[in-house]
Amino acid sequence: MKRRTLNIILSLIILLSTFGNVITIINIKKNLSLSTPGINDRMKMQEPPTVSTEKPPSMEVESPDQQEKGDFIRKNTISLKHILLIFTFSALISLSVTYILMNFYDAKFYKNKDRFIIYILSNIILIYLIVVGSTMTIDNYKKDPFKEESAPKDEVELDKKQTISPGKTDLSNYDTDVTITKGGTYELKGLFTNSIIIDAETDEVELVLAGVNITTEDTATIVGLSAKTITIALKEGTENTLTDGGNSEYDGCIYSEAELIFKGTGKLTVNGNQKGGEGIATEAKNITIEDGTYVIKSNDDGINAGGDGATIAINGGIIYIDAEGDGIDSNKDAIINGGTIFVMGAENGGDAGIDTDDGYRINGGKVIALGSDMLETPKKKSKQNSIAFVLDERIERNTLVTLMKKDKVIVSFEAPKRFKTLIISDKTLTDGEYELYINGTHTGTKEYEIYTSGLYTKGEQLTIGGIDTFTVSNSVNTYGKK
């Protein structure tokens, strides 16, 4: 066979083998996708036991600290057939490439012992490289099945030239970013269209918001680069609004790489409008809310302690969260000791009202947490009782929902979102039998979706898994299943 004809045949073998390798990798990826546990599978793994009419000894679903993290790891569906195909195609490519290269110098190379050894060693190296490359391609596809890839963040160059000193500052007088470089108390007011940058190393910084309205186009309104702690105090009688935009690396409307503390008796509205942006976010630093009124709306999580995680602590105040991700999300843990909290995760997908990696406790306050499919219940060692529901059907937006103990209303609310999971915790949630109603009428005053005072006229009593009376006998009581 002529050398030219042989080279053409070998080239065809290379092309066909490369195509075969690509098709095999695509097939493996497809199988991995099919084996990925979806939201329904995750709920099935986490689903609470069906509730019987008898009083159960414990209705608690295991919290994250009791669950095995391996439950949600993607199954390996790469078969022996896939491995053999990749090896075979790789060998054909390697043999053909090496033969063509050596044939270019000497058509009779295989009669030479030294060149034959070179030929074998070259093939071993090429086969190894191709197989490793294919494996790395497949490995890179194995990602967290419960976390969507977010768009790359834009790098924003902060303007740190203009600094301000402790004391009172009218932001309306500034048309560039303002930077805080040393500790102290800074009282801020006025309209502003740039960012407040805090780069105070290890100093303690306190921002007193005394009637500010800050809107940015491409990054966070408050950027905490460094400080020991950053305290945001809401001056009594003032309303403050923060609204961000863009798609920046500082992906919270309030973003901090230092610990955040919120206090005061004023009101703060936070609009997290960045793409995939949070309302309030830190990188592995604690977030503590002591007092105040907070209305948080975000395109992703409402309050997020990201990175390696940190504790989110709520000790008081009124907190209303409407998030397109999780309402409260900590990569570590959370604790609720007081306050009135109404939190909604996204209407669809695997988002929850409260989502943590290491679990959370409810020790006090009034908590209503709504989610789409995912349900994470508080830890058993919580000091205040909770009742959690996975409803048979989604409850439509603006439906009046009421939890009652006989003729006593425990909580009554309306949600502007559809939801299927519900957690209620309140100091009046003592041991006993409870019913859940939808619709009906309420004559009370609705504030941040929760009714106070007034009288409730019963509507339709809900059943979950055929049960219409729900027993509270433990710190956490869960009813319903996917």
- What is the secondary structure of 319-352 as a DSSP string? EEEEESS-SEEESSEEEE-SSEEEEE--SSSS--
Rounded to 10 deg, the angle between the 80-105 and 3-35 helix axes is: 160
Tokens 């519900």 correspond to 422
CA distance to 46, 76, 325, 440, per residue, from 144 (Å)? 17, 14, 16, 43
CA–CA gap between residue 462 and residue 332 (Å, rounded): 35
- Whether 75 contacts 145, CB under 8 Å: no
Q: Looking only at Cα atoms, what is the longest distance across the chain?
A: 100
Whether the model pTM is above 0.75: no
pLDDT score at 386: 97
What is the number of residues in the chain? 482
Residue type, 389: F
CA–CA gap between residue 422 and residue 276 (Å, rounded): 24
CA–CA gap between residue 431 and residue 258 (Å, rounded): 41
How crowded is residue 120: how many other Cβ atoms within 10 Å of its Cβ?
11
Listed residue (18, 10, 16) closest to 86, CA to CA? 18
The mean pLDDT values, 10 residues at a time, for the chain of 482 residues are: 71 77 69 43 38 36 37 42 70 71 59 57 60 57 45 87 96 96 97 97 97 97 98 98 96 97 98 96 96 97 92 98 96 97 90 93 98 91 96 95 96 95 96 97 96 95 95 95 68
Residue type, 372: S
pLDDT score at 42: 37
Residue type, 458: K
CA–CA gap between residue 360 and residue 80 (Å, rounded): 43
- Whether 116 contacts 71, CB under 8 Å: no
Residues in a beta bridge with 222: 196, 254
Residue type, 398: N
- Whether 462 contacts 437, CB under 8 Å: yes
pLDDT score at 6: 72
pLDDT score at 481: 80
340-344 and 318-323 strand pairing: parallel
pLDDT score at 22: 75
Strand order in 222-226's β-sheet? 178-180, 196-199, 222-226, 252-256, 278-283, 303-306, 328-330, 354-356
pLDDT score at 65: 40
Residues in a beta bridge with 168: 187
